[in-house]
Structure formats: C-alpha cells, structure tokens
Amino acid sequence: MYYFSVVGEELKFLNNSDIRLKVLVDLVDGPLKIRDINRKSLLSYSSISSNIHKLCDEGYVEKIHNSFQLTNLGLIYITLLMDFRDVISTITNNSDFWLDHDISSLTIDDLNKLSSLEGSELIRCNSMDIYKTHKEFKRLFKNSKQLKVIFPYLHPEYPKLIRRLVLKGISVELIVSRDILDGFIRDIGNDVVKKGIYEGNFSIKYLNDDIKIALAISNEFITVGLFKLDGTYDQNRLLLSNRKKAISWGLTIFDSYDESALTLVLD
Amino acid sequence: MFNEDDSINRSDDFITVRFLLASKMRPLLLLLLSDMEYDLNAFREELDKPSASILHGLKELERINLIKKNFKRYSLSSKGVLCSASLKKLFMDLYIFEMNRDFWLNHSIESIPRDSFRNTYLLKDSVFVESDEHNLSKSFTKYLELLSNCGNMEIILPIFLEEHLEIILENLENGDNLLLITNDEVLSSLRNSKYYGDLADFSKKGQVIIRKVDYDLKVFLTICDEFMSLSLFFKDGLFDNSCFILNEHSDGIKWAKALFEKFFEKSVRVI
C-alpha cells in the first residue's frame, strides 16, 4: 500500500490516456518528430501534440531540437509498464490455466518474473483429443537432449519414457514426491536407476512435502502443469514455451526444489 | 520507413494494464485482498470510501475473474493473486525512481542495461547518501568508510582515485580479494600509478583480478558482503561525487551482483 501511495498518481496519469502510452512506446526506439509519431501510430497531430507536451511537463519526454525523446524516467516507466503488460498478457492469454489453480508452489520471486512466460502456448485437451497434453509431453520428452523434471504424480508411461532416455545416455534429473518415489524406481527399473546414477546421467531426488507443480525443462522447452484448487492435478492443461527466458525461469524453480530435495541412497 | 502496424500492435495489449492502473480503486482493492479476505464493511473502514464506489470496483474486478465472492466475503482468485503480485512488484520497481525523480532525470543511465530496471524492487530499501553544504565530501567520506570495512570487493571502476586505491590495498593486505572491472583510460592511469606494482603482486597471489571493457563506463559500482553502492555520472559526462545509492540489504546486493555479472560477461581479463 505504501509503495502504491508513492507511485499510484504517476501511473494513473500515464494510464489515463491511451495516446500517452502509445507515444511512450513509440519513443522507446529513439527520438522522433511529431510527424514520425503520426505516421507510426496513426494518431492525429493535435492529440499527439497535446499529450506529448503533458508528458514533457511531467518529466517523461524532452524536446531536443525538433524531435522528442524519452527522459530517463520516461524510459524506466515505459520499460516497467511493458514488462507489466507482458505479465498481464501471460496471465490473461492463458486465463483458464491460472484461474482456479493452486499457485502456492510459486514463490514471490517466481511470480515477479512471470513475464518470462510471455508468449507461452497453452496446450488444452478437448473432446476430440482427451490425451493431448499427455501426447505433447511424451513428444517433447522423446526429442530431449537433457531433462530436468519435477513430477508430483505418477503416470504409468512416464517411468518407461525416463527408462528409455536414461538407457540412451540422455541426462535426466528427477525430483518426485516421497509418496511416488518407490513406484517410480520400480517402474524405471532398479537396474537402470543404478546404472544411470553410476554412469552419471541420471539422478533422482525426493521431497517429503507435497509438490504442487509439474515442471519439465529441457534444452529446448519448458512445460508447467498445476493442481486445481480441489487438490487434484489438472491433466487437461499444460503450459508450454520454447523461449530462453521461460526455460531460465523454470530452471530457477527447479534449482530451488533441488536444493531442498533429498538424494536417493541406493543399497 | 515505418512499420505502421507496429505501434498499434505494441500498444493494443495495454488494455488490461490501463484497466488496472487508470483507477485508484481497483489496484487498492487488489492490494488489500492480497493480505486477507474482506467484506464490504471492512473495505469501507479501510478505504474510507462510499460503498457504491467500492462495490463498483469489486464488480469490475469480479467481471474479469480477478476476485471472487463467497458469502459476502471477497478474496482473490488464483489469477488475481498473480495480478496482485505483479502490481506490487511494479509499484516497488518504480519506488526508487519516484522517490528520487531529480536524481534519475539528471544522471546518465546509459551504462545500465534496460533489463536491470526490471528488478529494481530489489533496491527499495536503498538510501541516497548525499553531501550537503555543511559537508561537501560527506558522501565520499561515507563511501570510503564503508569500503574500509568491506571484505571481498567487486568493483566497476570508471574513475581513478588515489584515496580509493589506498583503502583497496589496505583491504588486500588484510587478505581480502578484489575483482575489478574498468576501462582503458582508468587502466592506463592505474598502470602509471605507484599502486600498480602492489596490485600486480596481489594478483600473483590470486587476490586480484582486473578486467576491462572496451566501452565508456558510466557506473561506479561497489559490492561487498555487507553492502552495495552505486554512483552515476551527470548527463553532461561529469562524475557525481556528491551522491551515491547505498543498499545494505541482501536484495540490493543481489541486484548489484546481477548488474556486475552483465559487465563481467562483456569484459576481458587483463591481470
């Protein structure tokens, strides 16, 4: 509330006018004359002129010769507003992924970097393809060169997939909840688990606490799955991205789970 | 010359952003609900606003599924939790700039990568140490005092200062380490100074690494275990030794380390 009381008025001023935001966005790439802004934005001369002078008065834009450019404050405000826009569009574009789902597994730091997921694709099952998320998951797994996965649930096909990857020499790091650890090891195969660990391309760790996120990260993609508020895993929705920023967002989450996870000790 | 669709497309998706920020009531409601559930009476007491405006704001937020109502009590939906967290971050990101508008307007920020502004909420507990007419060297004295208790040092150095180097050498004598990033100009002054031989000796012992960048440095950044400090140049190109940003919290140090890393990546080792 305190921070809002400091910056709220300025944000209101900028967001009260679509034209002001458009002008700031246009100036991000460098100084422009009013004529150039008019061509880029199709706004009228008079609208641009009156708003650009208001932006000058408030310290967001300055006039240099016949051109206008962002001040430091203008650049900082519009950079942060564009970042906020990316977060909001990540949330609204995938509204039913985020709505009514348990997001308690994400820390404030993870939430603060949610714009990293901008441009993600929501894979959703439908009546013609009720296993769409599952198929997509398998497809991505098969083509991976290295994998880091947090599994909060056990699906009979996943241990088999992991088994194949480990035997192919692909690097796989798994984190699972304690409840499903034994089942996973059994289904991957004790011998394969031991071989993978011995050869250094496989590790499996576990957490005693409930895990409320399904996360798979490879060199090329990240997928995120969440639990519904009723406590069941939502098998019908999977968020997928192949962007570097999103992969790095996922790796940070994986690393934080990895730090608190316990290493499996084999006999 | 211009892609005419560009500006239109880039601004169109500000619709929800504007919905959230062009009102004072809507962000306030989301912020309040991020801490606990509220009913109308509790909102009225907290906000001191008429029921009609509160209800209007609540209905708008409910319409886009950011909040939900259950037996007269309002709470955030999971989507609302995300929006509210992002709003808080935005307000905290902007705080350091809004509190010191003149400083940011008058100083050069061209050396600071734009990405670094995306996490300035980490700097929210910073203080501006400023000289005043009673003590023109107040900020510099304070900086040297902090530096002398520094421990291991990571410094981006765009200026050459003898007093500064003397304290750095004292710290090195005490067994601390230095990772320095500088530019050709400062490096040349260092090489011609009486301090260079000592720095080279400490480097042989593994305590000093000096790296350089090929571009103009406009930030003076110091990072230790206990604090980070950041000084900038005025827009006219002169170094401002009358003010620096000091942060003695782990968040501030984290921000500074991320900034340092960006310079490190573009630097090459010279010693």
SS3 A224: strand
Whether the Cβ atoms of residue B95 and residue B225 lie closer than 8 Å to each other: no
Q: Determine the residue of chain A that is closest to B8 in CA distance.
A: A41
CA distance B88 to B31: 7
Bridge-based pairing of strands B178-183 and B228-232 is: unpaired
Residues 53-112 of B with CB under 8 A from A: 64-65, 77-79, 81-83, 85-95, 97-99, 101, 104-105, 107, 109
SS3 B180: strand
Judge whether residue B3 has pLDDT over 50.
no
What's the pLDDT band for B1 if we cut at 50, 70, 90?
Answer: very low
* Length of chain B counted residue by residue: 271
Complete domains list, chain B, with CATH: 4-90 (1.10.10.10), 100-269 (3.30.870.10)
Cβ <8 Å between B17 and A79: no
Percent of chain B with pLDDT over 90: 79
Whether the Cβ atoms of residue B172 and residue B202 lie closer than 8 Å to each other: yes
| Closest to B231 (Cα-Cα) out of B158, B136, B171, B182 | B158
Question: Which residue matches tokens 């901008």?
Answer: A118
| Closest to A94 (Cα-Cα) out of B75, B79, B77 | B79
SS3 A95: helix
Amino acid residing at A23: V
CA distance A246 to A240: 9
Query: Could you report the per-residue pLDDT of B189-219, keeping only the tens digit for each?
Result: 999 999 999 999 999 999 999 999 998 899 9
Judge whether residue A156 has pLDDT over 90.
no
Compute the count of residue pairs across chains A and B with CB atoms less than 8 Å apart.
158
Q: Which two tokens stand for residue A118?
A: 């901008």
A-chain residues near B121 (CB < 8 A): 112
* A229 dihedral zone (left: phi>0; alpha: psi -120 to 50; beta): alpha
How much helix, strand and coil, in percent to the nearest 5, is found in chain B? 50, 20, 30
Which comes out higher in pLDDT, residue A103 or A251? Answer: A251
CA distance B69 to B232: 49
Residues of chain A within CATH 3.30.870.10 domain(s) are 95-263
| Closest to A236 (Cα-Cα) out of A133, A156, A113 | A133
Distance from CA of A239 to the nearest CA of B (A): 15
Amino acid residing at A117: L
CA distance A77 to A28: 11
CA distance B246 to B227: 7
Cβ <8 Å between B101 and A73: yes
Distance from CA of B164 to the nearest CA of A (A): 29
Amino acid residing at A31: P
Distance from CA of A248 to the nearest CA of B (A): 14
Query: Could you report the per-residue pLDDT of B40-78, keeping only the tens digit for each?
Result: 999 999 999 999 999 999 999 999 999 999 988 999 998
CA distance A22 to A39: 12
Question: Which residue matches tokens 């998951």?
Answer: A137
Distance from CA of B192 to the nearest CA of A (A): 36
Arithmetic mean of pLDDT, B28-38: 94
Cβ <8 Å between B107 and A72: yes
SS3 B256: helix
Q: State the best of B97, B124, B219, B233 to mutate against chain A, taking most chain A CBs within 10 Å.
A: B97
SS3 A118: coil
Amino acid residing at A123: I
Question: Is A88's Cβ below 8 Å from some Cβ in B?
Answer: yes
Bridge-based pairing of strands A101-102 and A222-228 is: antiparallel
Q: What is the pLDDT of residue B22?
A: 92
Query: Measured in whole angstroms, how far is the alpha carbon of residue B267 from the centre of its chain?
Result: 21
SS3 B230: strand
CATH code matching the domain that covers A2-82, chosen among 1.25.40.10, 1.10.10.10, 3.40.50.2300, 2.120.10.30: 1.10.10.10
Residues of chain A within CATH 1.10.10.10 domain(s) are 2-82
Distance from CA of B222 to the nearest CA of A (A): 22
Instruction: Give the gyration radius of chain A's Cα atoms.
Output: 24
CA distance B36 to B249: 28
Q: Give this complex's ipTM.
A: 0.89
Whether the Cβ atoms of residue B229 and residue B143 lie closer than 8 Å to each other: yes
Q: Which two tokens stand for residue A228?
A: 């519904």
Bridge-based pairing of strands B208-213 and B178-183 is: parallel
Rounded to 5°, the CA angle B155-B160-B165 comes to 65
Q: Determine the residue of chain A that is closest to B99 in CA distance.
A: A6
Residues 6+ apart with CB under 8 A from B132: B138
Judge whether residue B29 has pLDDT over 60.
yes
B-chain residues near A111 (CB < 8 A): 82, 85-86, 89
Q: Determine the residue of chain B that is closest to A59 in CA distance.
A: B105
Whether the Cβ atoms of residue B73 and residue B39 lie closer than 8 Å to each other: yes
Q: Which two tokens stand for residue B85?
A: 């967290």
Query: Could you report the per-residue pLDDT of A56-94, keeping only the tens digit for each?
Result: 999 999 999 889 999 999 999 999 999 999 888 888 888
What's the pLDDT band for A136 if we cut at 50, 70, 90?
Answer: confident
B-chain residues near A85 (CB < 8 A): 13-14, 16-17
| Closest to A89 (Cα-Cα) out of B196, B142, B19 | B19
Which secondary-structure segment (H or E) carries B222?
Answer: strand B219-223
What's the pLDDT band for B99 if we cut at 50, 70, 90?
Answer: very high
Domain A95-263: assigned CATH number: 3.30.870.10
Neighbours of A78 (CB within 10 A): 22
Q: What is the pLDDT of residue B198?
A: 92
Q: What is the pLDDT of residue B61?
A: 95
Judge whether residue B152 has pLDDT over 90.
yes
Residues 6+ apart with CB under 8 A from B155: B168, B178, B179, B180, B181, B221, B222, B223
Q: Which of B28, B86, B104 sits opposite A84 (nearest CB)?
A: B86
Amino acid residing at A85: R
Whether the Cβ atoms of residue B212 and residue B206 lie closer than 8 Å to each other: no
